[in-house]
Structure 1
Amino acid sequence: MHFKDLFVNVSETLSFTTILLGVGYLAAFIVSVLVISENRSPAKTLAYLLLFFLLPFLGIIIYYVFGENYRKKKLYRLKALEDEKLQKRLNAYVYQRSEEKLKENELQLKDYEKLVRLLTYEGRFPLTDNNHVQILINGEEKFPVLFDALENAKHHIHIEYYIIEEGFIVDRLFDILFKKAAEGVEIRLIYDDFGCSLSKKFLKKIAEANIRAVPFYKIHIPFLSNRQNYRDHRKIVVIDGEVGFVGGINLSDKYQNEGMNNELFWRDTHLKIEGEAVRSLQLFFALNWSFCTDEGLFFQNEYFPKYEHAGDKKVQIAVSGPDSDHASIMLSYLSAISSARKCVYLTTPYFIPNESILNALKNAALSRLDVKLLVPGISDSRFVNAASQSYYEELLECGVRIFRYKKGFVHAKTMIVDDVISMVGTANMDIRSFDLNFEVNAVVFDEEINQQLKQVFLEDLHQSREISTAYWHRRRWFKHFFESMCRLLSPIL
């Protein structure tokens, strides 16, 4: 090839590359205008703008696959509350009920009235005080209790889960469900279409057993769908309207540490609730069932029975999702931290807080409160873990003590405040749980449950290693830089 021909080829290649980049940046500019117009949070907007101009074509594809803002479109309607008369009647009951309970427990809850009212008026779920609560640690405690409760079902079983993975645990679960269905027990199942891995053969077997199973927000093209966002991240079971389960443990063999050949120990927390708070879990399931099936809701007494004396635990349910006008669970975390007088003990597998949560934790520590954060030493996401670590230095410098769990992977989502408040549920301390996923937490106002969870937390610290400020400052610069880059993109991770 002559030098002239080579020069022409190189020139043509450069011209094509220049045109391609020009088109890419023009497209990035147009999409940037659209993103800015959506009035997202500044952090999320800046993260997308950075992505668009660093990787113009790929960044735009990532945005339309994962990040298009459907929240304003209200794709998820709480159909039961579209009836204006029902909404007013339900709200009036919730507000009156919570105010009555606040007055009855004025002395114990005087420092937490803001939190109770936030969950009442924003979440529309009342404070209840006729409950029994049992803490279940890891799958080895949860699954036997769950299976026993399912065996005793008389009228209906309602199950809603993010992850259902076929294996020993799920086989045992469905053996019970098949038997109960044959006995005439109504069984409804909502499974997240992204998180679950149920084969068509298994789903057919479920249908043949007369079990109603529906996907939440079905994905038709897994790799070309923005529906990886707005997932049903909840884990709920309601039995006969009287017994409820909620927490972080999915239906999978990996959560069962005993008797399994799992490579990794999974540390998680769940609650069994009996009593009035189960009404809130039942109502929440009913609303989701209506969304998934377009069927009318069931408000008959057999689904919402009257409760005899179940216990003396005060429980309030917190829910949030893209359908909410406000991030209720995030606000409940913020309110609880801000109301703390002695301590805040937080366990989360994914820690990417917004500025409000971050400042609340720093303020608590600077006020000489005992603030401890338990995070994984072993993570299942390198980028999320790096983004989380970018927050450690400023927290450490304010006096927050950070511990990394070493025994395995800590997946629990709990927060303990002072001697009364305990939060257990499905929501991580990250932007995805605050804004993009449908989540549910149980907030327990009780000294006994608080002390039990506090003891579990302190035992977990014995399986952890504390990060010192001096050690963290000695990290190599490129690790710090990688964490900083991941933090810039953390609003969209």
Structure 2
Amino acid sequence: MSNILLKAILIANMLFAVIIVFGERKRPLAALVWLLLLLFLPVVGFVVYMFFGQKLLTKRKFRLKREDDVRRGKIIANQHRQLVSLQDSSEDESANYLGLTRMNLLQASAPITLDNEVLFLVQGRDKFAQLLEDIRCATRFIHVEYFIWRDDELGQQLMAALTEKAQEGVEVRVIIDDWGCKLTPESLFQPLRAAGGKVYRFLPITLNFVFNANYRNHRKIVVIDGCIGYIGGMNVGVEYLGHRQHQSPWRDTHLRIVGPAVASLEARFLMDYIYVSREEVELGERYLLSDAPRLGHSPIQIVSSGPDSTEQHVKQGYLKMISSAYESINIQTPYLVPDDSVLEGLKIAAFSGVDVKIMLPGKPDKKLVYTVTMSYAGELLEAGARIFLYDGFLHSKAIIVDDHYLSIGTANMDMRSFMLNFEVNAFIYDREKASEYNAIFYKDIAHSRELSLAEYNSRSAWSRLAEGVCRLFAPIM
């Protein structure tokens, strides 16, 4: 009996080895990690791969979603492309980012929109107070998409506000990620459903679809009446209000946008909603306003990426920003696990005399990922970059280049966000807003300590060993 079981395991391992070789042919390092895991830990490796590694089995699933996105994306892009001609810009500084805007338009189908008002929300209390006020003022629809929605004081308060609006006749649609909300009971959403609201879980994880665990919807989007949009790093949970003492203060960044860019956020939400609900929603003027309020002056592109895309659009945007920098690159990220292209881009920028500053959390939430993060931080220190450790947990995802333009959204500076998660970022081409956020960045530096190369090199032999071992698994973290 034991021989039969052993043979079955070996056959299964060989089968999955073939799947890995074909499925990960564009990522040889990831393929090597999976093969080593199956070789040295056959049973454990088999189970882990079933949950987190399968790619070919999802090919058709994501192909269908990609076709939906492309079909509707072309309609949306055609509706918005008339808003601006990239060739008409006469500002000298626009040359710094014209290539980025073209790439995002042509490759990511991200129209550039003008005259947007942008508000930076860097404290959870401020963000959710403003969001609840905007929800109370909604008259037509509220569309909400979050990775994590906890059944705590904040989650219940937000759900109560949405339920009240649904009872008033306002359309309320909610998407939550099934993995991110695995501990959130369905009872939390029942009152909203009873009031006529709609709630769907993105890629539910079941025994038939255990491979869904590897592909998570990390997006955080709220659109209210087509006029107001939210995007950024904050999920729904009291920790974003600073209620986790061991990680306090908790620092994150969210954007409140008023203007034509809200239609791009709404389009992203609707494409995700149609995919999870299979409900045909008309992509017309009711949701995608052509006469959105123009209260500001910021040009914005909303760029999405995910495992359903043939290209890593947000990562490519980051890489283009890094390669275009002349003076400075300021980055905030909770996890620093870049792929080779981004790592080399940052090192080349530092070698070229660009002032590269990267801010990381001083109080991590994931020990293994933080160990890998410090490994990459050390390599960048050796290249001349500067690393700052925030005195608390930093969850903000931001990159500012040359004090001219910036990107803020849901994507971390890690391979999971680049390749496996569904993400969305705002690229903002506004020197005034870049300077405003840089001021926030330097205020955060005042609450951080700089990690020197000497301090990094003085770490223990055990830390060096742990970094080396954990970094082997960076492509699958």
- Shorter-chain TM-score bucket reads over 0.9
- The whole-number CA distance in structure 2 between the counterparts of 1:96 and 1:180 is 34
Q: Per-residue deviation at 1:104?
A: 2.7
Matched, 1:64 2:47: no
Q: Identify the range of structure 1 (213-222 vs 54-63) with the bigger mean alpha-carbon deviation.
A: 213-222
Of 419, 424, 428, which aligns to 2:408? 424
- The whole-number CA distance in structure 1 between the counterparts of 2:78 and 2:193 is 39
Taking structure 1 as reference, are residues 29 and 269 closer, same or farther at Cα in structure 2, changes over 3 Å only?
same
Aligned amino acid, residue 456 of structure 1: I
Contact kept? 2:159, 2:189, Cα under 8 Å: no
Of 193, 203, 216, which aligns to 2:202? 216
Of 265, 279, 284, which aligns to 1:295? 279
- The whole-number CA distance in structure 1 between the counterparts of 2:336 and 2:279 is 38
Q: Per-residue deviation at 1:373?
A: 0.7
Of 110, 124, 135, which aligns to 2:120? 135
Of 467, 470, 477, which aligns to 2:454? 470
Q: Could you say which residue in structure 1 is the equivalent of 2:257?
A: 273
Q: Could you say which residue in structure 1 is the equivalent of 2:361?
A: 376
Matched, 1:348 2:336: no
Q: Could you say which residue in structure 2 is the equivalent of 1:5?
A: none
Q: Could you say which residue in structure 1 is the equivalent of 2:103?
A: 118
Of 162, 169, 185, which aligns to 1:184? 169
CA deviation vs aligned residue, 1:405-463 (integer Å, no higher than 9, x gap): 22x21111111111211111100111111111100011111112111211111111122
Q: Identify the range of structure 1 (191-200 vs 285-294) with the bigger mean alpha-carbon deviation.
A: 191-200
- The whole-number CA distance in structure 1 between the counterparts of 2:360 and 2:176 is 28
Taking structure 1 as reference, are residues 152 and 361 closer, same or farther at Cα in structure 2, changes over 3 Å only?
same
Partner of 1:479: helix, strand, or coil? helix
Partner of 1:163: helix, strand, or coil? coil
Give the fraction of aligned pairs with identical amino acids, expressed as a percent.
Answer: 36
Aligned amino acid, residue 483 of structure 1: E
CA deviation vs aligned residue, 1:266-295 (integer Å, no higher than 9, x gap): 110000000000010011111111101111
Q: Could you say which residue in structure 1 is the equivalent of 2:214?
A: 229
Partner of 1:325: helix, strand, or coil? coil
Partner of 2:97: helix, strand, or coil? helix
Q: Per-residue deviation at 1:81?
A: 4.7
Contact kept? 1:78, 1:291, Cα under 8 Å: no
The higher radius of gyration belongs to: 1
TM-score, normalised relative to structure 2: 0.93
Of 44, 64, 77, which aligns to 2:65? 77
Q: Could you say which residue in structure 2 is the equivalent of 1:155?
A: 140
Gaps of 5+ in 1: 1-14
Q: Identify the range of structure 1 (195-204 vs 208-217) with the bigger mean alpha-carbon deviation.
A: 195-204
Contact kept? 1:162, 1:233, Cα under 8 Å: yes
Taking structure 1 as reference, are residues 356 and 389 closer, same or farther at Cα in structure 2, changes over 3 Å only?
same
**How does 1:90-489 map onto structure 2 within 5 Å?**
90-95=76-81, 97-98=83-84, 100-196=85-181, 197-221=183-207, 225-257=210-242, 260=243, 262-265=245-248, 266-305=250-289, 306-406=291-391, 408-489=392-473
Partner of 1:225: helix, strand, or coil? helix
Q: Per-residue deviation at 1:297?
A: 2.3
Contact kept? 2:146, 2:219, Cα under 8 Å: yes
- The whole-number CA distance in structure 1 between the counterparts of 2:69 and 2:367 is 41
Contact kept? 1:102, 1:109, Cα under 8 Å: no
Contact kept? 1:170, 1:251, Cα under 8 Å: yes
- The whole-number CA distance in structure 2 between the counterparts of 1:29 and 1:49 is 10
- The whole-number CA distance in structure 1 between the counterparts of 2:14 and 2:206 is 30
Contact kept? 1:164, 1:251, Cα under 8 Å: yes
RMSD across aligned C-alpha pairs, in angstroms? 2.2
- The whole-number CA distance in structure 2 between the counterparts of 1:458 and 1:30 is 52
Partner of 2:112: helix, strand, or coil? coil
Q: Identify the range of structure 1 (455-464 vs 420-429) with the bigger mean alpha-carbon deviation.
A: 455-464
Partner of 1:271: helix, strand, or coil? strand
TM-score, normalised relative to structure 1: 0.90
Contact kept? 1:157, 1:188, Cα under 8 Å: yes
- The whole-number CA distance in structure 1 between the counterparts of 2:300 and 2:195 is 35
CA deviation vs aligned residue, 1:73-117 (integer Å, no higher than 9, x gap): 34251465565xx6655444555545x145235523111111101
